[in-house]
Amino acid sequence: MGKKKISDAVIRRLPKYYRYLGDLLENGINRVSSNDLSKMTGFTASQIRQDLNNFGGFGQQGYGYDAMNLREEINKILGLNQKFRVVIVGAGNIGQAVANYAGFYEEGFEVLALFDKNPKLIGLRIRDIEIKDLDDLPGYLDDNEIDMGVICTPKAVSQDVADILTSHGIKAIWNFAPTDIKVDDDVAIEHVRMNESLYTLAYYYKQKNDTEE
Amino acid sequence: MGKKKISDAVIRRLPKYYRYLGDLLENGINRVSSNDLSKMTGFTASQIRQDLNNFGGFGQQGYGYDAMNLREEINKILGLNQKFRVVIVGAGNIGQAVANYAGFYEEGFEVLALFDKNPKLIGLRIRDIEIKDLDDLPGYLDDNEIDMGVICTPKAVSQDVADILTSHGIKAIWNFAPTDIKVDDDVAIEHVRMNESLYTLAYYYKQKNDTEE
DNA sequence: TAGATTGTTAATCGATTAACAATC
DNA sequence: TAGATTGTTAATCGATTAACAATC
């Protein structure tokens, strides 16, 4: 409604707070100041307070933040307090990596099926999840309530897969294919840009080694 | 030297230009304007011209840019015009995915060895690259000239692995473990933040579905 | 209470966009 | 040449940082 738009930069810092708060709790630490978080995350204390105050006053003057409470608040802000029913399309190394990743399940992301068109893979099970024939994807989406699709296919077919997913009601797409995918405005999409990351690394490597100022 | 510092945001856009220029060339298109690139990338034409002019005047008034030339210039800027000798530490799904990814080789990244501590994996070959015992990593690094290490281990050991890599002269680390890693200032490091990406997706999914304003 | 630390406003900084002269 | 489009400066916008009153 009248809420001011939160910038993307803020949202992308929240997972980092969330992770460090989890680390603190694992170590039995329950009290944390913006200054503590600053040391951990590398963001300024001022920025951290600004970020959090976009969503509410979670701290207490003179004390700081309760780590568990703050973590739960961020959990809610990010929408991690719901279950996500997930299908993975493309059951190669990356698809399998996602299916196998335990941290995924801990936050409520439940992988229900993988799809591939490789006959050698169809029928196999990853973590007890069956790899199904890609041709069965539309029917599967019609018969099951799925929230999120993970695209782990080669780039040549990633847009087609996205089209199948969205035309069958999927509103969240996590894309590992090295390409941009176009979706309607009501679909959330995130790209894991491995190539971009690698090339950026190459650049900074070069900076540090070529031009030892 | 006296060069003005290029902002990180600029660097992270370069790979996208690079990719779209490649697409154009594949389609036999050799001339491109900042306006064309704007339509493809979603960045403004003005921003694209600004970005490129940080590095030189690659265009021609009234004409635009020569796609092949511009692509080569970006290749050089990013430091992709050199070979990278790479080791992958952690030969699970992600490590194997990286080793198998063809786009990696096309840009001059050559994977020479994988390392793991799982006896079931040691001795296997991925793309004809042997998986070696993690214990042999320090010796291997001493005996071979390696530029880059890719960390695909669980987070509990990622810092230790990074320490081994850097203490044996590695100056570039590509980290897939879901944690921050500390390295000296002369080491370039890039994190592929899959968790952050996923949680951000959860947030935007929630925005689009909860608050149909 | 005194000390600590938040929440929040104001100041600064940097990045993006707009505009247009230069020029192919 | 006329038209197109860059390179580049100036204007705008937004994000970060600094500062401090509020208050636990």
| Beta strand residue intervals within B60-169, DSSP E | 65-66, 84-89, 109-116, 125-126, 129-133, 148-151
HSE-CB of A174 using CA atoms within 13 angstroms:
30
Query: Look-up: residue for tokens 């951990």?
Result: A40
Instruction: With beta carbons less than 8 A apart as the criterion, state whether A196 and B12 touch.
Output: yes
Instruction: With beta carbons less than 8 A apart as the criterion, state whether B181 and B153 touch.
Output: no
Q: How far is the CA of B163 from the C1' of D19 (A)?
A: 40
Q: What was the pLDDT predicted at B3?
A: 53
Instruction: With beta carbons less than 8 A apart as the criterion, state whether B137 and B115 touch.
Output: yes
Q: What was the pLDDT predicted at B31?
A: 97
Sorting pLDDT into bands at 50, 70 and 90, what band is B211?
low
CB-nearest to B192 from A171, A187, A197 is A197
DSSP-based three-state secondary structure for B119: coil
Percent of chain B residues past pLDDT 70, beyond the cut: 97
Chain C: positions less than 7 Å from a protein CB are 2-9, 14-19, 21-24
Query: In whole angstroms, what is the distance from residue A155 CA to residue A94 CA?
Result: 13
CB-nearest to B171 from A148, A200, A208 is A208
| Residue B139, pLDDT above cutoff 50 | yes
Q: What was the pLDDT predicted at B130?
A: 96
Averages of pLDDT over each 10 residues, chain A, 213 residues: 77 98 97 98 98 96 98 98 97 96 92 98 96 98 98 97 98 97 97 96 93 51
Q: What was the pLDDT predicted at A198?
A: 97
Q: At what angle do helices B45-53 and B8-26 cross, to 10 degrees?
A: 110
Residue B94 among known ligand-binding residues: yes
Instruction: With beta carbons less than 8 A apart as the criterion, state whether B119 and B126 touch.
Output: no
Q: Calculate mean pLDDT across residues B180-190.
A: 97
Q: What was the pLDDT predicted at B5?
A: 86
Tell me which chain A residues have a C-beta less than 8 angstroms from the C-beta of B1: 211, 213
Q: Find the distance separating the first CA and the last CA of chain A, reported in whole Å.
A: 51
Q: What was the pLDDT predicted at B24?
A: 98
Residue B74 among known ligand-binding residues: no
Q: Does A189 touch chain B (CB under 8 A)?
A: yes
| Residue B180, pLDDT above cutoff 90 | yes
Instruction: Give the pLDDT confidence of B45-101 residue by residue, as tens digits.
Output: 999 999 999 999 999 999 999 999 999 999 999 999 999 999 999 999 999 999 998
Which residues does nucleic strand C approach, with CB less than 7 A?
A 33-35, 45-46, 49-50, 52-53, 57-65; B 7, 9-10, 43-44, 46-47, 49-50, 60-63
Give the other-Cβ count within 10 Å of B154's Cβ. 12
Question: To the nearest 10°, the Cα dihedral for A94, A180, B88, A119?
Answer: 30
| Residue B2, pLDDT above cutoff 60 | no
| Listed residue (B203, B105, B114) closest to B151, CA to CA | B114
Domains, chain A, ordered by start: 8-76 (1.10.10.10), 84-196 (3.40.50.720)
Residue B92 among known ligand-binding residues: yes
Give the distance between the most distant pair of CA atoms in chain B: 62
Instruction: Give the pLDDT confidence of B17-33 residue by residue, as tens digits.
Output: 999 999 999 999 999 99
Which nucleotide is closest to the Cα of A53 by its C1'? C7
| Cβ pair A208:B195 closer than 8 A | no
Q: Positive or negative CA dihedral for B197, A174, A98, A201? A: negative
Q: What was the pLDDT predicted at A110?
A: 96
A53 touches strand D (CB under 7 A): no
Q: What was the pLDDT predicted at A102?
A: 81
Q: Does B178 touch chain A (CB under 8 A)?
A: yes
